[in-house]
């Protein structure tokens, strides 16, 4: 599923192709995928607009338009944002097509429809409660271990649950939460507030490492994730714990344990993580 590294890969791939292009028009074959504003307004808001920049905030793709609003895309679990030639056959579950002035199409496809499309300024979407107030970007140089420590200190939820909370840290999902906790040697079930400053520092470093390595490998295609060209990433072959329940830990050889935390399957090593 698309988390920070997968979204970052798509954004970096799309940027040079989209910036400067104009969205001629937009067609919605499944209008409820648009969450703000109403679908008709959404279509009018993007039509004729030039794309000024393509960025990312957490797991949100932000395509800023000449009208000073952004086309915001959240991929949910199975969302795909693809740049295709107009003659490319339309794939099943394609819910929105943005026609570009170079003849190409930006297509949004999402079988499970957990994703969403929005248009508006970041402030407007925040006020309309269509977007949460996201926490710091974990790969930004300005994000410090002390910030993470302070967040963990005030939370009584399991560590894993805090990592998944987009208001605590933006962009971490089930895969990289498990991966970074394993790297840090910390148990996902640990009550966040019991983590020492030293452990928080290790988790801070592990989060950065897990995310950066995954970006370098163009993300994890564990399920339906594909990049903007429809290609798979390589990180799924290098995951330490995610999806490996019952298989041996790469460090100690013991079988990895699976538990459910915050409604998510969580895999860790009982020997290596405390």
Partner DNA sequence: TTAAATTCCTGTAAGC
Partner DNA sequence: TGCTTACAGGAATTTA
Can 3 be counted among the known catalytic residues?
yes
Assess 194 for contact with DNA (CB under 7 A).
no
Q: How many residues does the chain have?
A: 274
- 65-73, 171-179, 194-202, 228-236 -> range binding DNA (CB under 7 A): 171-179
Q: Which is nearer to DNA, 85 or 92 (CB)?
A: 92
Distance CA 234, CA 217 (A): 5
Q: Report yes or no: 38 and 54 within 8 Å, Cβ to Cβ.
A: no
Q: Collapsing DSSP states into helix, strand and coil, what is residue 35? A: strand
Tell me the window of 129-137, 197-205, 207-215, 225-233 that interacts with DNA (CB under 7 A): 129-137
Buried-exposed string 216-248: b where 16+ CB fall within 10 A, e elsewhere: ebbbbbbebbbbbeeebbebbeebbbbbbeeee
Q: Considering only residues 150, 153, 156, 198, which one is a binding residue for DNA as defined by CB under 7 A? A: 156
Spatial strand order in the sheet of 70-74: 34-36, 116-120, 70-74, 60-65, 51-57
Answer yes or no whether residue 174 interacts with DNA by CB under 7 A. Answer: yes
Using CB under 7 A, which of 21, 57, 197, 264 touches DNA?
264
* CB-nearer residue toward DNA: 100 or 192: 192
Backbone dihedral angles phi then psi of residue 254, each to the nearest 5 degrees: -70, 150
Give the containing element (helix H, strand E) for 174.
helix 174-184
Catalytic residue among 6, 35, 39, 59: 59
| Widest CA span in the chain | 58
Report the residue from 12, 47, 77, 259 that binds DNA according to the rule CB under 7 A.
Answer: 77
Of 3, 6, 8, 179, which one is the catalytic site residue? Answer: 3
7 vs 23 by CB, closer to DNA: 7
100 lines the binding site for DNA (CB under 7 A)? no
Known catalytic residues are 2-3, 59, 264
Instruction: Write out the residues near DNA by the rule CB under 7 A.
Output: 1, 3, 32, 58-59, 74, 76-77, 92-93, 111-114, 129, 131-132, 154-158, 161-162, 164, 166, 173-175, 192, 262-265
């Amino acid at each position: 599923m698309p988390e920070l590294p997968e979204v970052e890969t798509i954004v970096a791939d799309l940027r040079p192709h989209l910036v400067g292009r104009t969205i001629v028009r937009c067609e919605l074959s499944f209008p409820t995928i648009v969450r703000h504003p109403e679908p008709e307004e959404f279509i009018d808001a993007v039509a004729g607009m030039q794309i000024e920049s393509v960025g990312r905030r957490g797991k949100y793709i932000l395509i800023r338009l000449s009208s000073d609003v952004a086309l915001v895309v959240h991929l949910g679990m199975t969302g795909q944002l693809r740049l295709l030639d107009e003659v490319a056959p339309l794939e099943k579950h394609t819910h929105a097509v943005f026609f570009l002035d170079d003849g190409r199409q930006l297509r949004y496809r999402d079988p499970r429809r957990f994703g969403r499309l929005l248009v508006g300024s970041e402030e407007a979407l925040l006020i309309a409660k269509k977007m949460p107030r996201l926490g710091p970007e974990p790969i930004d140089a300005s994000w410090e271990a002390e910030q993470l420590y302070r967040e963990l200190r005030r939370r009584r939820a399991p560590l894993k649950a805090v990592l998944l909370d987009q208001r605590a840290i933006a962009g971490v999902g089930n895969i990289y939460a498990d991966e970074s906790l394993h790297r840090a040697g910390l148990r996902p079930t640990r009550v966040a507030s019991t983590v020492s400053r030293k452990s928080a520092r290790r988790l801070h470093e592990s989060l950065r490492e897990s995310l950066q390595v995954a970006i370098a490998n163009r993300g994890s295609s564990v399920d339906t994730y594909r990049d903007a060209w429809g290609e798979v990433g390589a990180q799924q072959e290098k995951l330490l714990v995610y999806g490996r329940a019952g298989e041996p830990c790469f460090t100690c050889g013991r079988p990895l344990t699976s538990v459910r935390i915050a409604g998510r399957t969580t895999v860790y090593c009982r020997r290596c993580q405390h």
